[in-house]
Amino acid sequence: MTEPLLTIRDLHLEGRTDEEWVPIIKGVDLTLDRGEVLGLIGESGAGKSTLGLAAMGYCRDGVRVSQGQVKFDGIDLFEASAGQKRALLGKRIAYVAQSAAASFNPAHKIIDQHTEAPVRHGVMGRAESVEDGVDLYERLRLPNPEEIGFRYPHQVSGGQLQRAMTAMAMSCRPDLIIFDEPTTALDVTTQIEVLAAIRRIVKDFGTAAIYITHDLAVVAQMADRIKVLLRGEEVETNETRAMLSDPQEEYTKSLWAVRSFKRPAKPAVAEGTVPVISVRNVDASYGPVPVLHDISFDVHKGRTVAVVGESGSGKSTAARCITGLLPPTGGEILLDGEPMAADYRKRNKDTLRRVQMIYQMADTALNPRMSVGQIIARPVQFYLGLRGAAKRKRVNELMEQIELDPAEYYGRLPSELSGGQKQRIGIARALAAEPEFIICDEVTSALDQLVAEGILKLLARLQDELQLSYMFITHDLATVRAISDEVVVMKDGRVLDQGPKSEMFRPPHHPYTDLLLSSVPEMDPDWLTHLLETRGVDNIGDAATDKM
């Protein structure tokens, strides 16, 4: 038996919060053979990234090892000197980060960052490394491999940068690569290209990898084995196929089942009903740049319209037009059949009250200096004019509606709440105005799946109770499937396709809808392989969706 490439034994890591050290990783064991790909999954806060970095012998500021051992090819990484570790990092162990846009240095050309490790580690000279880089770009199916490296990071799209970073990790032909959520920030159609590229190159060079993600369907495509983490502890480990078909632990099963939430379909809207919101032939532009072209869709009372599309498709711009933050350059928007003023400054208080918004990042959308009670009370007073005891009573009611106990949470600051709780406060704040129409802008995309499901259920319940209408902006088709009544598909500022959910998810599709639908990873380890075969492997890299 040959020794495994990486062995982690009984690892305990601690992180500092205020003046206290609290455990993050509580006794994890891990072995990885040469050429093997291990998937590491769990929700945020499970310690996946911390564990991935510890496998490189690296701890971020405020993290320390309290116990245990990490051995890479016989070298104890926590005993090794800083110099010894530097000689390994980049050369034999490499890292691919979640956000390539943030992890490439904006001040230097991509190729200069690519050649840095091989030149510094003495693996090859600069000229040779440039040549090798071009070769890697070609293998990763980047467009213009000869030229793309000589651009600055901001001149290259996100999906391409992520592949360029994978090439950079490969520059010294390491034995082990840590992939830390490399596709989480990408659109589904771009994600496929990156997944395919990573899988191919890891296989070509026989590199061992740890693939960290929260997306089960993604890990199923990439890993030979899967390890599930929960709050710093291992839940279970198994071969990918066995894990998918027969999860042993309750927690794993709950992860697998999370996408099961689905609302029953509502009957079709009666002919001639006046929609709550009607967007008619709207054009909009940022300065001289046109971003929306002739957008039209209706939202009816008590129903949810999901607006889907990739980043840059104009979903959020459409929302900004409806709220009046960005006055359209053409077309009109009707509220209950009455045209609204284009600019929110020209709308009266009642119109403003009837259209509310919930934001993606609850973290930044809540004033950190105001307590939960103050945040919710403000629209209650502003729109409804309630004061004193009546205001307090209404805030309590709202907090009960979003399932947060007023006695416990009224005086808390946003920083004392979890991500899901913050998003609930965002919902309560929108409800406080007693609106008819709420725009939900990617409200679940920053949340873990279990928490996101709770938010979706809450929104569905509130809709039934209060007959609210939602415009639900998302790029996640699973969410669309779960809650929408009608679907609007957008791309490049145009509506490509729209209709009731039941029709949209049933063939025949519009070609772009089809591309979107087929790009959502499925929990089948062969899904990516089959998809690449149907689409033709060779044109995956420069698929039509590759944006510059």
Is residue 211 a contact point for other proteins (CB under 8 A)?
Answer: no
Q: Measure the CA–CA gap between 70 and 50, rounded to whole angstroms.
A: 13
Q: Measure the CA–CA gap between 519 and 498, rounded to whole angstroms.
A: 19
Which range in 84-92, 129-137, 249-257, 432-440 contacts other proteins by CB under 8 A?
84-92
Is residue 16 a contact point for other proteins (CB under 8 A)?
Answer: no
Is residue 89 a contact point for other proteins (CB under 8 A)?
Answer: yes
Shortest reach from residue 94's CB to other proteins, in Å: 8
Binder of other proteins out of 152, 205, 256, 261 (CB under 8 A): 152
- For helices 372-384 and 388-401, the axis angle rounded to 10 degrees is 120
What region does 42 belong to: left with phi over 0, alpha with psi -120 to 50, or beta?
Answer: left
Report residue 9 as tokens. Answer: 């034994």
Shortest reach from residue 379's CB to other proteins, in Å: 36
Which range in 79-87, 217-225, 266-274, 336-344 contacts other proteins by CB under 8 A?
79-87
Shortest reach from residue 463's CB to other proteins, in Å: 39
Q: What is the x/- site pattern for other proteins, positions 425-464, by CB under 8 A?
A: ----------------------------------------
Nearer CB in complex with other proteins: 104/251: 104
Q: From start to end of 407-477, where are the E strands?
A: 437-441, 469-474
What phi and psi, each to the nearest 5 degrees, are found at residue 430?
-70, -40
Residue of 172, 524, 480 whose CA lies nearest to 308:
480
Residue of 162, 156, 203 whose CA lies nearest to 537:
203
Q: Measure the CA–CA gap between 175 and 177, rounded to whole angstroms.
A: 7
Nearer CB in complex with other proteins: 108/530: 108
Is residue 155 a contact point for other proteins (CB under 8 A)?
Answer: yes
Is residue 121 a contact point for other proteins (CB under 8 A)?
Answer: yes
Beta partners for 332?
Answer: 280
Is residue 116 a contact point for other proteins (CB under 8 A)?
Answer: yes
Residue 253: count of CB within 10 angstroms of its CB:
12
Decide: helix, strand or coil at residue 507: coil
Q: Measure the CA–CA gap between 213 and 192, rounded to whole angstroms.
A: 15
Q: Measure the CA–CA gap between 55 and 69, rounded to whole angstroms.
A: 10
Shortest reach from residue 11's CB to other proteins, in Å: 18
Nearer CB in complex with other proteins: 5/89: 89
Is residue 107 a contact point for other proteins (CB under 8 A)?
Answer: yes
Nearer CB in complex with other proteins: 121/494: 121
Q: How many residues does the chain have?
A: 548
Which range in 100-108, 196-204, 210-218, 516-524 contacts other proteins by CB under 8 A?
100-108
- Residues in the interface with other proteins (CB under 8 A) total 32
Single-letter amino acid code for the residue at 529: T
Q: Is-contact 482 261, C-beta < 8 A? A: yes
Q: Is-contact 476 447, C-beta < 8 A? A: no
Binder of other proteins out of 99, 285, 396, 449 (CB under 8 A): 99
Which range in 97-105, 141-149, 201-209, 357-365 contacts other proteins by CB under 8 A?
97-105
Q: Give the footprint of other proteins on residues 47-66 (CB under 8 A).
A: 53, 56, 58, 60-61
List residues binding other proteins (CB under 8 A): 53, 56, 58, 60-61, 85-91, 94-95, 97, 99, 102-108, 116-117, 120-121, 151-152, 154-155, 548
